Amino acid sequence: MTRELTLDEMAMLTAGASMWATAAVPEAGIPPLHMADGPMGVAGARIDERDVSLLTPSPVALGASWDTALAQRVGRLVGGEAIRHGVDLMLAPNLNLARSPLAGRAFEYYSEDPLLCGALGASWIRGCQSVGTGAIAKHLVCNDSETARDQMNAVVDERTLREVYLLPFEMAAGADCAGMLTAYNKVNGDWCAEAAPVIRRVAKDEWNFPGVFMSDWFGTHSTAGSLAGGLDLEMPGPARHLGARSAAAVERGEVPLERLRDAAERVATAARRFGAGKGAPMPDGEAAALLTEAAAAGFTLVRNEDAMLPLDTRRWPRIAVIGPNASAPCFQGGTFAKIAVKPDAALPLEALRARFGEALVCYEPGVDPQPKLPRMTVTPARALGDGRVKGMTVDYFDNAALEGAPLLSETRDTNSLTWFHGVHPAGALQRAAATRASGVYTAAESGEHLFYVGGTGALRLLVGGEEVFRRDEQLAPGDVMGRLKSGDADCVGIALERGGEVDVVVELRYTAARCQGLWYGVRGPGGAEAMMARAEQAAREADAVILVVGETSDASVESKDRPDTRLPAEQVALIERVCAANPDTVVVTNVGHAFDTRWADRARAVLHCWYPGQEFGPALAQVLAGDREPGGRMPVTIAREDADYPALSLQPDANGDLRYGDGVRIGYRGLAANGVKPRQAFGSGFGYAAFAMRDARVVRDEGGGADGGWLVTVTLRNTSGRAGAEVVQVYRAQPELTLVAFAKVALEAGEEREVRIPVALRRLQVWRDGWSTLPGAVDLLIGRASDELPLAVQVVPRGV
């Protein structure tokens, strides 16, 4: 059932109806669309640990797989999971680029390279949409950092914008994604939600992309400016700038009626396309197997001296596991798209114990596994009838004095609470109000305990009935989101005796804002040096060590970039001391971005696992034991020195401008142009199988479409006694080293195959007031990493 839309109906469709849904016009056959954040799974709208969903490897881990077919399967898994949760559109994939290793959300980016990012993102989109769930590619464009992202202006030249930062979105458009989400920042002076040069002239007119363009949440700034720039949908609802104001702008002559009709039709088309016709979620067993496979496919082995891996217990009969991330892994980063992971997800330590059995003789964390905000393991202050045995009793009051009966009470087994207006029931309290969390803590050791507390308003902490901390500060509504995203907490020391029970009460008083948050934790007596000494002793007494280090989820967050590229100092010290005690150490890193690895040559083996999702434990145990290959190759460059990165600082200047001075020479391209050797090159890494590559040739691709192209052919042979996969990479040499094609190829032991890799004409073009084919002969270099390209062919694209 369809009919023409009225002016008011068209206007209504340009704004969300609620926090996570679009408006509907049932009489015109336009259903509402329900959305959820991504890209690692279906994030619960309430940001609630009880809204469990499947957690996939992070995009940087999928980027490390260099496997488009795998990315498509993972996208299909997420699309099916969205159906399970009643979600029609996923805000994913994230197609921004890891321009700097300091970027706070680099774990959400597939790569520093636009082609690798675009190829994997497009495949993920196809998989997600294959079951009827729409994919909204984000964040258009140049939201490649978090510092002042709501104000900063990305200053980028046209060639760089076209060839680098828009390329992944162009590929997403080619994959027919449902739409695109505009970024918070400005680009070349225009708010991204109003950037006509990007949305209207490039995406709509040049790409002929028919999808919907929506704002990031609260990312609009005007009515006429947004519509004129090409924005179709303001999110979330209720409307602030579009909606009914869109109709008024048309009536005043500020916006052409055809522009409003275009916006409404794009929203309506997406609603009709993705509001029905759903496929089936992936069965649980198949999903778990895929998530384990995908995690291992991204594990990147960059060092393996004396073939230490895979670990053979006949060679290494006594294995020690050391390191904080073995027992407190970082499955994902700390954005608002954080997934509530199933409570029984196997920790790396648990999976290693199950796989290696009696050969795994001990575990020592070495350093505090939760250095910023530790968990508070408590029992509820009172039962609420839900049978839970852990957590805090959380009471929400409609007044700042916490008087009378609470409007809502719940038991929450988390140390970080967030509630949004229109999502969590407590979010309806858009006035001065309060929240109280209470529980009973039992001390496991005697000594000073540090109690942490933070929140979006005035705070009070009581331990054992006594007030031990108070801060009466109140935040202005505009400052609440910044405090919430920072997660900063105060702490106070309290002496407790082992076995002693104390009541813990945390109170938050706040003023009206669209979101609120409260977080807390407790750390028992430490003895940092004693922990380190126990780890050293365990290393000395073992034949081999698995040392698992890395980050916590609050190391990669929204709205904040990192200050440096280093692991925490205590973890670097742990690596150095453990490797000195036992050089037969495998360092497993659980880090979501490029980082300083100058310690790597101290270990016998180094395996980068990125943020690998909920099946981290089983995947790690299987890879270390040799049941699976470590399938990854570097999706980013790790430089020898921070000064070697073409882009490092992400601080805008005094005018709010962040200049993309590296231009098209992002990442490995800039290092190569400057003649600087990386510590770990883009594309590098290896598995347990070994490969030889020879006989490179190039021919015209007769099936390459109207634009023409070439086929690069190489002979690839598995020279080892086990099956494995190699990534054949093709780069153009001019005007700077640039990845133009790749293929991941699996071969059985001893198998040889001719591999044919298409290179599109577009990959040999640059932007010079239009796409211009490179003149003369272009060298294509073929190999297995950006710094290991032994084969070469030449093409002459001019005149094609």
DSSP 96-137: ----STT-TTGGGS--SSHHHHHHHHHHHHHHHHTTT-EEEE
Residues 6+ apart with CB under 8 A from 194: 221, 222, 225, 226, 228, 229, 231
pLDDT at 728 over 70: yes
Confidence label for 387 from pLDDT (cuts 50, 70 and 90): low
Confidence label for 800 from pLDDT (cuts 50, 70 and 90): very low
86 burial level (CB within 10 Å; 0-12, 13-18, 19+): exposed
User: Residue 138's beta-bridge partner residues?
Assistant: 94, 181
Q: What percent of the chain has pLDDT over 70?
A: 98
Separation of alpha carbons 678 and 711, rounded Å: 30
> Could you tell me which residue, 419 or 77, shows the higher pLDDT?
77
Strands 738-747 and 724-732: antiparallel
Q: In 487-608, which residue ranges form alpha helices assigned H by DSSP?
A: 528-541, 569-581
- Strand order across the beta sheet in which 738-747 lies: 738-747, 724-732, 778-783, 791-795
Concatenated DSSP letters of 132-163: T-EEEEEEETT----TTTTT-EEE--HHHIII
Query: What pTM value is reported for the model?
Result: 0.95
Confidence label for 421 from pLDDT (cuts 50, 70 and 90): confident
pLDDT at 615 over 70: yes
365 burial level (CB within 10 Å; 0-12, 13-18, 19+): buried
The predicted model gives 554-559 an average pLDDT of 81
- Helix pair 348-356, 616-625: axis angle to 10 deg: 40
**469 φ, ψ (degrees, to nearest 5):** -150, 140
Confidence label for 479 from pLDDT (cuts 50, 70 and 90): confident
Q: Are the beta carbons of 213 and 203 closer than 8 angstroms?
A: yes
Separation of alpha carbons 649 and 656, rounded Å: 14
Q: Domains of the chain by range and CATH?
A: 1-25+211-260 (no CATH), 26-210+261-274 (3.20.20.300), 284-371+527-668 (3.40.50.1700), 378-523 (2.60.120.260), 689-795 (2.60.40.10)
Q: Are the beta carbons of 761 and 721 closer than 8 angstroms?
A: no
Q: Are the beta carbons of 666 and 604 closer than 8 angstroms?
A: no
Residue 73 tokens, joined: 């399967």
Task: Please count the CA atoms within 13 angstroms of the CA of 586 that sit on its side-chain side.
Answer: 29
User: Residue 461's beta-bridge partner residues?
Assistant: 469, 506
Nearest by Cα to 136 from 150, 152, 124: 124
Structure letter (DSSP) for residue 200: I
- Helix pair 167-174, 114-129: axis angle to 10 deg: 30
Strands 738-747 and 791-795: unpaired
pLDDT at 122 over 50: yes
Structure letter (DSSP) for residue 569: H
Q: Are the beta carbons of 4 and 254 closer than 8 angstroms?
A: no
Provide the mean pLDDT of the chain: 95
The tens digit of pLDDT for each residue in 197-231 reads 999 999 999 999 999 999 999 999 999 999 999 99
Q: In 190-283, which residue ranges form alpha helices assigned H by DSSP?
A: 196-198, 224-229, 244-251, 257-274
Q: Are the beta carbons of 112 and 68 closer than 8 angstroms?
A: no
> Could you tell me which residue, 234 or 426, shows the higher pLDDT?
234
The predicted model gives 769-789 an average pLDDT of 97
The predicted model gives 375-394 an average pLDDT of 81
CA dihedral 592, 594, 598, 601 (to 10 degrees): 70
Structure letter (DSSP) for residue 407: S
Q: Are the beta carbons of 678 and 629 closer than 8 angstroms?
A: no
Q: No. of H helices and E strands in the chain? A: 17, 35
Residues 6+ apart with CB under 8 A from 494: 448, 449, 450, 451, 463, 464, 468, 502
In what helix (H) or strand (E) does residue 417 lie, and over which residues does it extend?
strand 416-420
Separation of alpha carbons 587 and 582, rounded Å: 12
Residue 305 tokens, joined: 């001296």
Neighbours of 528 (CB within 10 A): 12
Nearest by Cα to 739 from 800, 798, 664, 649: 664
Separation of alpha carbons 675 and 194, rounded Å: 40
> Could you tell me which residue, 181 or 487, shows the higher pLDDT?
181
3-state secondary structure labels for all residues of 65-88: HCCHHHHHHHHHHHHHHHHHCCCC
The predicted model gives 403-418 an average pLDDT of 91
The tens digit of pLDDT for each residue in 652-707 reads 999 999 999 999 999 999 999 999 999 999 999 999 999 999 999 999 987 755 56
Separation of alpha carbons 746 and 724, rounded Å: 6
- Strand order across the beta sheet in which 319-322 lies: 300-304, 605-608, 585-590, 544-550, 319-322, 360-364
**Lowest mean per-residue pLDDT among 9-13, 46-50, 739-743:** 46-50
Compute the chain's Rg from CA coordinates: 27
Nearest by Cα to 113 from 66, 146, 149: 66
Residues acting as catalytic residues: 216
The predicted model gives 149-162 an average pLDDT of 97
Residues 6+ apart with CB under 8 A from 90: 35, 36, 37, 38, 39, 42, 78, 79, 82, 128, 133, 134, 135, 136
Residue 608 tokens, joined: 């980068």
Neighbours of 149 (CB within 10 A): 25
The tens digit of pLDDT for each residue in 62-71 reads 999 999 999 9
The predicted model gives 69-87 an average pLDDT of 98
Distance from first CA to last CA of the chain, Å, rounded? Answer: 49
7 burial level (CB within 10 Å; 0-12, 13-18, 19+): middle
> Could you tell me which residue, 468 or 381, shows the higher pLDDT?
468
- 3-class DSSP state of 612: coil
The tens digit of pLDDT for each residue in 235-288 reads 999 999 999 999 999 999 999 999 999 999 999 999 999 999 999 999 999 999
pLDDT at 562 over 60: yes
